Chain A
Amino acid sequence: AQSVTQLDSQVPVFEEAPVELRCNYSSSVSVYLFWYVQYPNQGLQLLLKYLSGSTLVKGINGFEAEFNKSQTSFHLRKPSVHISDTAEYFCAVTLSGGYNKLIFGAGTRLAVHP
């Protein structure tokens, strides 16, 4: 069975600093990987996804993530954060091919301070 571990429940950072949100997954077969963002009392919005191809994936709002198969990781990065990036971020995994349910990590709360 697949599982997702987000290594940090909270990440405080100052505005314009770089940030990395860590995500590790476990699976014995090929997977698809996703990062979603959730603002308070709202639904989830897709930031980026890895299905195949280049291991460096660029998403919306200046975020990017790198798929590392040997380390089973899919860390999310942004070189310079804004106050508006304050939100909850979820990493998710599903088996590649056909329909499979999405497994979510517990989330990382990013708090950007002025």
Chain B
Amino acid sequence: DGGITQSPKYLFRKEGQNVTLSCEQNLNHDAMYWYRQDPGQGLRLIYYSQIVNDFQKGDIAEGYSVSREKKESFPLTVTSAQKNPTAFYLCASSRDNEQFFGPGTRLTVL
């Protein structure tokens, strides 16, 4: 079964700690994305990558970092510099003009 996996589904961290969210796809897509979702605000783009070893900032990149060392993987690190990290994080990959989404990770910072 092809698809996008995100792990873990729920993640709890203490304030001031960095945390890395995993995103893996076996769809052979070149482009991958990270979004943040907050209630009533839709999805906002954090980072995207169109090809291996290349990525660009989205609309709300401050306090986040990414890497794209493999085509299949696009991990997101939420750093201690992110002022309000508690949110639902969605990873996506795309072919042509359609984006395919993973199941999401709900991060709660205590």
A interface with B by C-beta (< 8 Å): 9, 32, 34, 36, 41-46, 49, 51, 90, 94, 99, 101-102, 104-107
Q: Which of B34-58 contact A (CB under 8 A)?
A: 40-45, 48, 50, 58
B78: chain A residues within 8 A (beta carbon): none
Who on chain A is nearest to B10 by CB?
A41
Q: Are A90 and B90 CB-contacts (below 8 A) given A43-B101, A102-B99?
A: no
B85 within 8 A of A: no
Residue of A nearest to B44 (CB): A104
Number of interface residues of B (CB under 8 A): 26
C-alpha gap A9/B106 in the complex (Å): 22
Q: Determine whether the beta carbon of A49 is less than 8 Å from that of B97.
A: yes
Instruction: Specify which chain B residues have a CB less than 8 angstroms from the CB of A107 in the assembled complex.
Output: 40, 42
- Interface of B toward A, CB cutoff 8 Å: 4, 6, 9, 31, 33, 40-45, 48, 50, 58, 88, 90, 92, 97-104, 106
**Is the Cβ of B97 less than 8 Å from the Cβ of A32?**
yes
The interface residues of chain B lying within 8 Å CB-to-CB of A106 are: 40-42
Contacts of A49 in B (CB 8 A): 97-98
Q: Decide if B99 touches A43 in the complex (CB within 8 Å).
A: no
> If A101-B58, A104-B43 touch, does A41 touch B106 (CB 8 Å cutoff)?
yes
Cβ contact within 8 Å between B97 and A51: yes
